[in-house]
Amino acid sequence: MMRPVRRTVIVTVVGIAAAVIAILNAVPALAHGFSSTVYANITAGDEGHIRTKLGLEYDLFVVSAADYEDDDSLFREGTAAFDAGDTGAQAAALRTHTESATKYVTERFSVTSDGQACTAKQVGDAAMSEREGVPYADLLFDWTCPARADAHEVRSGLFPDGEGYVKGTKTIVTYEIDGRSGSAALDSANPSFSTGQAWYERFREFFVLGAEHLLTGIDHILFLLALIAGSRRLREIVLAATSFTLAHSVTFMLAALGLVDVPASVVEPVIALSIAVVAGWHLWGIWRRGDHATDLETAGRGHFSLDRRGWIRLAVVFCFGLVHGLGFAGALGIDEAWSWTLLWSLLVFNVGIETVQLTIIAVVFPLLIVLRRRAPKLGLWATGVVSAGVSIMGLIWFVERLSAS
């Protein structure tokens, strides 16, 4: 006769597969990061002038500008060039429709000096680049400011939710003007910043940005849930979370500072695979041993030490954490020379990620422990459900991301 535990696993996997597939219809394959990210680099130009280099997601830029200016020709030419993957044709479409493209940008992105608006003029033609495998249009603008000031205000309303194409656009700003340098993160809730703002205001933006990234990154959350479901004791989840944190912090900092560069076509499928592997590890343990509930009866009692299986699990989590760190850095996308301000911004972004991660553990793990101790069989079934669902979702994402790369 089939062991009850194995029967539970099989029923769980089959039952949850249909639900997961239905959920995936509403969840994108690249499940972390923002719907779109704008990059703005601001530097001082000649006397009374400011230079801004804007990087905008090409296909989104084309459809937004075309819709904003009722320029059907830009839409046809731009989308055809995008579908063909022809960067020369993409740049040509923007060059042919410079007026529409420029008007869209300058009416949604602004620079002011002492409360007075600066006037923008595009410098040269749009150039094409690529970020995380996505085509971007790079535009350079020269802003003439009527008043001299010790600080400038930058405001971005590019690709708002109201257009209906994307939701939650972030504008990552790096600047070196007014005798100051640093970074800022803008969105619909905080659409502007001043170069004269206090240091804690800048850091608050990056803390929130890091927290939001983990909260909106369903793949990272599922990885964390897989760690929680597969941990039998508090010390196990603490060690696993610490291993994951140390690993992703290292690669996050190295990648964000430009010292490591791994393409998204490699990072994203491995992140998906990590979800399936860590969740599947727990399912395999239930299948082979069926003793998860029994172990929990003695959880927290006596001396705790890791066995060979525990050390292997930590090593696997650490290795996958290195890859997740590259994913965090890719979402932030800062392209700025080294500075202490940049370093602190990155650290605060990482602190925001860790705060949410620890909060999830502090809320979910104690509840799971209580369930396992009071109803061991139900607790075993619950972790099986979670692990099965997470593993299936990770495998489907893995296949989708491989086919998309």
pLDDT above 70: residue 51: yes
| Beta bridge mates, 56 | 137
Q: Which residues contact 251 (CB under 8 A, 6 or more apart)?
A: 260, 321, 322, 323, 324, 325, 326, 329
Range in 250-254, 285-289, 354-358 the model is least confident about: 285-289
pLDDT of residue 120: 92
**DSSP labels, 100-155:** HHHHHHHTTEEEEETTEEPEEEEEEEEEEEEETTEEEEEEEEEEE-SS--S-EEEE
DSSP character for 131?
E
Worst-scoring range by mean pLDDT, 27-36, 121-130, 179-188, 232-241? 27-36
| pLDDT band with cut points at 50, 70 and 90 for residue 79 | very high
pLDDT, tens digit, 9 for 90 and up, residues 233-266: 778 888 888 888 888 888 888 887 778 878 777 8
Q: What's the pLDDT at 342? A: 67
Residue 8, both tokens: 């539970």
- Residue 321: its H or E element: helix 308-332
d(CA 132, CA 289): 42
Q: Look-up: residue for tokens 């599922």? A: 222
Phi, psi of 193 (to 5 degrees): -155, 160
What rounded mean pLDDT belongs to the chain? Answer: 79
Residues pairing with 343 in the sheet: none
| Top-confidence range, 61-75, 252-266, 367-381 | 61-75
| pLDDT higher than threshold 80 for residue 26 | no
Is residue 169 within 8 Å of residue 38, measured between CB atoms?
Answer: yes
When pLDDT is cut at 50, 70 and 90, the band that residue 151 belongs to is confident
- DSSP code for 161: G
Instruction: Round to whole Å and give the CA distance between 155 and 267.
Output: 32
Q: What is the pLDDT averaged over residues 10-33?
A: 42
CA distance 319 to 277: 12
The answer, yes or no, to whether residue 300 has pLDDT greater than 60, is no
Judge whether residue 129 has pLDDT over 70: yes
Residue type, 361: I
The DSSP letter of residue 47 is T
Separation CA 383–CA 389 (nearest Å): 10
CA-wise closest residue to 389 among 216, 218, 217, 214: 218
Residue 185 near residue 173 (C-beta atoms within 8 A): yes
**Amino acid letter, 300:** G
Helical axes 58-69 vs 72-84, angle rounded to 10°: 170
- Rounded (5°) CA angle 176-254-210: 70
Sheet with strand 134-144: strands edge to edge: 119-131, 134-144, 49-57, 37-44, 170-177, 180-186
The pLDDT, as a whole number, for residue 59 is 93
- pLDDT, one tens digit per residue, over 317-349 is 899 889 888 877 766 666 555 566 667 777 888
Question: Helices marked H in 115-263 — which ranges?
Answer: 199-216, 218-229, 234-256
Q: How many CA atoms lie within 13 A of 206 on its CB side?
A: 26
21-25, 32-36, 247-251: which has the highest mean pLDDT?
A: 247-251
Q: Are 97 and 136 within 8 A, CB to CB?
A: no
Instruction: State whether residue 306 is helix, strand or coil.
Output: coil
Gyration radius (Cα) of the chain, Å: 24
Biggest distance spanned by C-alpha atoms of the chain? 85
